[in-house]
Structure 1
């Protein structure tokens, strides 16, 4: 009887340590190997670019079952950075992001439709400026493999197009600036 118990315990230990649980990743923001950058047209002449410096999240991904992929991300909206102190203050203020009332933005995936290259379309709920809407992000798989420190990593990039007025931001920037492009680079370290 003891023998069966220990065999069962050994099997349970083996299963819990197996690659079935190896598909969970933490986004590597501490090592600065992930970014959320934006670009918006400035007068239809050039691009105003910047980034959100502080965010965190995790995701699940298994190359053998990519349709099961999921991700959760939370962004500190006050970390908005356009490399210009006065503009940052203005954009963080009441007219635009209103970070006092809406300090965080978040994305929680609802489905992933993979393609043959390992990328696909990630759909989910984006909460921004106190409004939650479904969005779709075209995703490319950049690569995966062991890192020099004995860990395992996987990386993706994607672009999200959003219209701020659909989230309740009604400050008019002109027709050339109705769309914001969010360029996402996500590298995860397997937990």
Structure 2
């Protein structure tokens, strides 16, 4: 009886030990293993893509309790790069992002709902949260996928995700009208987090 009890305790410890609390992670922006990208239709002819080069974020995550995950990100809006200096100057100005008045955008999650796995067997979830852009806060939904987790070559522990979402830019501020086909901004995120 004692032996059976000890075996049960050992198994329980192996399965649940250390999993009672989610681990905290810092996004690896210093080594550029994190990206926030956008894609916008240009007048119905093509797409303009860009990336924000200055942002930071953190998150907590426990693979056994993904619904308890939390994430927050702050980015510098003036760091948007679209590979054309004149266009960048225009987009960062008053016609669009007005970065001198609104230098930061933030995202703070409020709810995580696991949705199963993708065709590669990777965990997926719907992440709802508040996006604050140009002084306006709106809820958005991010379709997230766990890319992988484990030890890195430098002795640390990492976990990585990617996610997609879309927003209507006119929901956040009245910007230059380029037609309805240019109102939707597609967002793509991918990042590695280093366990703290």
**Length-normalised TM-score, structure 1:** 0.88
Structure 1 residue 170 displacement after superposition: 2.9
Corresponding residue of 1:66: 66
Q: Does 1:30 align with 2:30?
A: yes
1:29-88, CA deviations, whole angstroms, 9 ceiling, x for partnerless residues? 001001001100112222101100000010001001100001010010010110111111
Partner residue of 1:163 out of 158, 161, 168: 168
Partner residue of 1:44? 44
8 Å CA contact retained: 2:28, 2:193: yes
Match of 1:129 among 126, 131, 134: 134
Distance in 2 (alpha carbons) for counterparts of 1:147 and 1:169 = 45
Whole-angstrom distance in 1 between the partners of 2:114 and 2:91: 36
For structure 2, the residue ranges without an aligned partner over 5 or more in a row are: 1-17, 118-122
- Provide the alpha-carbon RMSD of the alignment: 1.2
Farther-moved stretch of structure 1 (40-49 vs 18-27): 18-27
Q: 2: distance between equivalents of 1:49 and 1:140?
A: 22
C-alpha distance in 2, partners of 1:169/1:160?
20
Q: How many aligned positions are there?
A: 174
Distance 1:166 1:183 in 2: 19
3-state DSSP class of the match of 2:86?
A: helix
Task: Give the conservation status (yes or no) of the 8 Å contact 2:28–2:192.
Answer: yes
1:93 aligns with 2:96: no
Match of 1:119 in 2: 124
Aligned to 2:102: 102
Pairwise CA distance, 1:22: 5.9
- The residue that corresponds to 2:8 in the other structure is none
Q: Tell me by how many angstroms 1:21 deviates.
A: 5.2
- Relative to structure 1, the CA distance from residue 67 to residue 104 in structure 2 (aligned partners, 3 Å threshold; closer, same or farther) is same
> In the alignment, is residue 149 of structure 1 matched against residue 154 of structure 2?
yes
| SS in structure 2 of the partner of residue 32 of structure 1 | coil
- The TM-score normalised by the length of structure 2 is 0.85
Separation in 2 of the partners of 1:169 and 1:23?
Answer: 40
* Deviates further, 29-38 or 165-174: 165-174
SS across alignment from 2:29: coil
- 4+ long deviations beyond 3 Å: 18-22
Which range moves more in the overlay, 23-32 or 42-51? 42-51
